[in-house]
Structure 1
Amino acid sequence: MKASELISSVSSLVEKKVPTFLWGAPGVGKSSIVKQIAYSKDIGFIDLRLALMDPTDLKGIPFFDKDSHSALWAPPAFLPREGKGILFLDELNAAPPSVQASAYQLILDRKVGEYILPDGWAIVAAGNREGDRGVTYRMPSPLANRFVHFEMDIDVDEWRDWAYKNSLDESIISYIAYKSEHLFTFDAKSDIKSFATPRSWEYVDKILKSDLDTNLQLNVISGAVGKDVSVGFLSFKKVMNKLPDIQNILACGNGDYSEEVYVLYALSTGLVSALLKENSDERLDNLLSYTLELKSEFAVMVVQDLQRNGISMEHSKVFKEWVNKFAYLLQ
């Protein structure tokens, strides 16, 4: 299930306090999706990494209550006491069985020891699949049956839309459009420590925006996404210097054209990014006028990227001309 479908599905189940479990490979954005749901609902979000916990961390520490002459459990301070929110149990299946047993009561009965989870809080858990080369423990069937399970897939178009909205470096978005298989290169059978994932491309974005010496970029980016992907990406990045003047295109609708595929991917992404940063009817018309002479597949990619990012163009006279020319590709 792709991210947009997961967000819609999990969001609905959170409203009804139905426990859900997200399965997926490392670095695909499981925790980011749950956090996004919480923020969109303006509710609390607590992220518990169960793999780092001991059984008593959830249940609390026993103490003697002199009034009742009995042993009670002191609940941990990190568990919610009021309000609404999502209690996110990350890496649940990477936690030792003893920790899973403590979580079991919290998930089944919404309480553990003396602690009771407030009615306004929903439980969402996540973990890597058993074949993903991570440390995992088989989840007991009664616990697994308590969740609604989803498996997260990676959708390149959705990731590119997210990358635009989060202002990732244009060269990264362009490269993934050109080489979509390099968005995610994880291989459970390989022992290579560095591989490309949506999360590691975020690291690359931070590397590019740092003050790192350009002579060190290959080695550092290789540490994030792997050597082969890094070489391909940095080779692609060099074509950014060959791009026509994007601001001139948006200002007057005229500019040079290229036949190089590398350049066309980079140019298409650059045009979309520039318009999203500063949108106006005039700049949109100029962009559409320019794409009328652009290679058809790239003209369509530009318009589809703009539409997915909320740019309305039906009011544009140039768009009507654009549709007449490229409508056959949209069917």
Structure 2
Amino acid sequence: MNIDFSHLDIYKESQIVPYLEGESGIGKTSIIEQYAASKEMDCIIMGVASLDHIEFYGRTVSTDIVAGFNDQKFTVFKKSIPNWVSTILHNDKNNKETLLFIDELNRAEPQNLQSLMNLILKKEFGSDSIKLPESLFIVCAGNPIDDGNYLVESLDKAMLSRNNRQKVHPSIISYLEDNRADFLLQSNEDDMSDPGMDPRRWDMISRLLYSYEKTQKNANNLVSLLSTVSSREVTPKLVNYLKSSKVLFFSKIQKQLAEFLDLHKEKDFKSYLLAQMNDTSHYDELIESIQSQLDRAQPVTFLALAFSP
């Protein structure tokens, strides 16, 4: 299976937790293991559908303490730090990144959901709220959503309720000023595969744009990424807007500039650059590309689910 790892690069840079959706046995775990290996990251696989309580939460240990009136002796019970948490903390101490792959998230037992939510949304774990390092990259996966699946609906509502303040990308602000209807809370109850637009998704789009600019990925990758967090109705409009505002233009100009410098040794540099800055013909191809992606079914889909801390 071919998956563009640059998608994961941008999710990682954006500190967005991606959700990899696909049928069982098509290689989701293999994709993540290959990505982790390519980045020299330690990869921890956590299947939460049949989660072992001790493996996930740690063992219960007792400690005798002396305190209180007449130095009374008490026995205190608490959970030990589970091995997977110890591994993450150890890796961070030794400047090694960890990828935590949470598989079958939409099949998690109800009693584990709160701990999983804190882990995904806050990078915290346990009753003591152990803070996991910023270097931890969490990726989730699950089977296609079934209609009426209570666990999936609860998970999405919990994520919707999370507050996260940060600077919104100027292009998103200006787009919404021109397209106010797209800012209204929308949902598509008839098609669970097509997310409705809400503040959470605009926030994720904003972070994807910031990360795109920082990592300087090509425009086709950004268009594909936008389709994973935006609705089918909004995505083409947003891409057209980004086209007119030149947001997607930098990577093409950068490539053309490198070719020019190589071939012409900087001759007529200024006139060449000015001419290329007025060329937006390549955006027509991008529009066609995103439309074709929206029209055809994909066996594996990236959905940006969660907020970062």
Larger radius of gyration: 1
TM-score by length of 2: 0.40
Name which structure has the greater RCO, CA cutoff 8 Å, separation 6+.
2
TM-score by length of 1: 0.38
